[in-house]
Chain A
Amino acid sequence: MPVLLKKALYLVVMLLLISFISFLAINAAPNSFLAAGELNPNMTPEAIEKLKAVYGLDKSMFEQYIHWLINLLQLNFGVSFVSGADVTDEILKRLPITLSMNITAMVAVFMLSIYLGIKAALHSGKSFDYALRQLSLISFSMPSFYLSLLLMLIFSVTLNWFPIAGLHSIEPKTGFSYYLDMAWHLVLPVGVMIFVSIGSMSIYIRSLTLEILKSDYIFFAKARGLSEKIILRRYIIPNLLPPVITLLGLSLPGLIGGSVILEAIFGIEGMGQLFYLSALSRDYPVIMGILTITALLTLLGNMSADLILIKLNPYAKRS
């Protein structure tokens, strides 16, 4: 399949570029690997040379880059400046919670906005449409941290319905109630995630549906006297899916980026919080590790969106 090959090649080019940029970035970092050692008066020049040899810093830039690339391919980002722990372990430990939050939010946004967007398009100009457009503007302009604080104030402080922060209650739980407890802790953060991204998605789907409704095949389907339900299932949704799936693939980085703020506010020990803490303490290996892994996830997301598209539309293979 030539299209797939082309996409795979593009992926490889992107990964090479990313690895090159991250190499430059980590070399430009203000506090170098040896900064502390060079300041130490007891360090002899020989000892510094030895350390450099240990870290491979005595080699040429090109050799260092190749070394970095090989490490990246093995997902080896070195050790954290702060904790001394292996960066990949740290990230992988925290990735599942972030990913599951983001995927839950993404699925919910997808379902809800398809429903809302199509409904608004079918009743375009009516009050439901107007309300959805206003809601989407609010959703787009609402800072996630502000909404989180307001919701915390209302639901956690005043009404006491949901916990303020964290992932687990103090008393340990096991089995099914362990996950139930976790879900209860995640209602507010995931709710905020859904709210801040639903506006753009549903408005996008609304305008796509409006375009589809203008087409000849819908006109003809109506002329044949097909019911609204059948038109919806047979003509609107299949035509709607390809662009929406592309957009979903593209929106993955935005969602993950948003989890930095939410995890910091709600005290969730995920990748976003780790990123925030590393940015505060300038822990460059961790920063670069997370950047590279999210870039990889995004590329994989886009790639799978493309694959689904090809599956849905055999014509896409030819272009």
Chain B
Amino acid sequence: MNLPRFSIFLLVAITVFSFFGSVFYSQSPYLLDKDSILLAPSFSHLFGTDRLGRDILARVIEGGKVSISIGIGSALIGSFIGLVLGSTAGYFRGKIDKAFVVLVDLFLTFPTFFLLLALVSYVNASVFVLIFIISITGWMTTARLIRSESFSITQQPFIKILDIAKVKKSKILLKYYAPLLAPIFFVSFTFGVGGAILAESGLSFLGLGIVAPQMSWGTILSSGKEVIDIAWWVSFFPGLMIFLITLSLMNISNYLQQQTNKKEIY
């Protein structure tokens, strides 16, 4: 079986399903129906219904938009912070690098999930707030990888020659340096999307993430935990989505990493 291709297919399928699913599936994710409370999956409700008679499939489609957007948004910002800080530390070294190490160590002494919870308790969570919070607690892995990669790049002769030739620092950074960091950046970006989706769904599962009427896979899953003994489908399908999308992202990240032949991220 061709695993990376299958993962890309799965990733694209889930994304298309979330963003364009409502075009093909006309049930409303908000419509309450007192005659169809906690119905098991059937042809009229493929994923069943929840405690208020809402269609789970429609809710999973709607929630996917939020979950995926938060995942991509946070990973973009997080890996960008990591790229900037990591490459600066790796390029300039010395005192800047020491300060960088202290900063990363400081962030790593707190459990990430504790930091997330503490930050969420200061503000009311919304999509943008969550993107912001998840990205500022999730840049450290990228930053460290980029830093160690930068170290090995600056060791290479051509960078030294460029320095000696008095090429502008900004030009060296952007033209000769950044392209070499690209592969490791994409590896940690795909990895970051998966991590951010897990973080968001964890927060939403605890009731500290997305709030009603908006929904994400985490909130739908959370709403099913009280009825897990009589209606498994409420939690099962959104959870499956989180699992499948993260699995495919991790798989792709893993594959990219094997291609660039770098050390394992995790």
Contact = CB atoms under 8 A, between A and B. Distances in A.
Interface stretch (B32-40, B70-78, B108-116, B176-184): B108-116
A258 B114 CA distance: 9
A253 B112 contact: yes
Contacts of B225: 149, 265
A203 B264 CA distance: 8
B23 interface: no
B118 A287 contact: yes
A294 B246 CA distance: 28
A261 B113 contact: yes
Given A149-B225, A152-B228, A13 B247 contact: no
Interface stretch (B57-65, B79-87, B145-153, B199-207): B199-207
A254 B112 contact: yes
A207 B206 contact: no
Nearest to A253: B111
Given A149-B225, A276-B206, A279-B121, A290 B235 contact: no
Interface string B189-221: 000001000100110011110000000000001
Interface stretch (A64-72, A119-127, A140-148, A175-183): A140-148
A250 B105 CA distance: 10
A282 interface: yes
B243 A280 contact: no
B247 A137 contact: yes
Nearest to A284: B121
Contacts of A258: 111, 113
B205 A261 contact: yes
Given A141-B194, A275-B117, A294-B114, A30 B122 contact: yes
B111 A257 contact: yes
Contact of A13 (B102, B221, B232): B102
B114 A275 contact: yes
B98 to A, nearest CB: 11
Contacts of A265: 225
A137 B243 contact: no
Interface in B103-141: 105-106, 108-115, 117-118, 120-122
Contacts of B236: 150
B266 interface: yes
A21 B103 CA distance: 12
B147 to A, nearest CB: 16
Q: How large is the interface on A (under 10, 10 to 19, 20 to 34, 35 or more residues)?
A: 35 or more
B42 to A, nearest CB: 20
B41 interface: no
Interface residues of B, number: 44
A3 B133 CA distance: 36
A141 B118 contact: no
A50 to B, nearest CB: 29
B114 A200 contact: no
B232 A153 contact: yes
A23 interface: no
A137 B228 contact: no
Contacts of B242: 143, 146
B251 A137 contact: yes
B250 interface: yes
Contacts of B106: 14, 17-18, 21
Given A146-B242, A261-B206, A203 B112 contact: no
Interface in A247-300: 250, 253-258, 260-261, 264-265, 275-276, 278-280, 282, 284, 287, 290-291, 294-295, 298-299
Contacts of B254: 137
10 contacts: A149-B239, A150-B239, A204-B264, A258-B111, A260-B206, A282-B121, A287-B121, A290-B114, A291-B110, A299-B109
Interface of B: 102, 105-106, 108-115, 117-118, 120-122, 194, 198, 201-202, 205-208, 221, 224-225, 228-229, 232, 235-236, 239, 242-243, 246-247, 249-251, 254, 263-264, 266
Given A14-B106, A257-B114, A279-B117, 11 more contacts: A28-B122, A142-B243, A143-B202, A149-B221, A149-B228, A150-B236, A157-B229, A253-B110, A261-B113, A261-B206, A294-B110
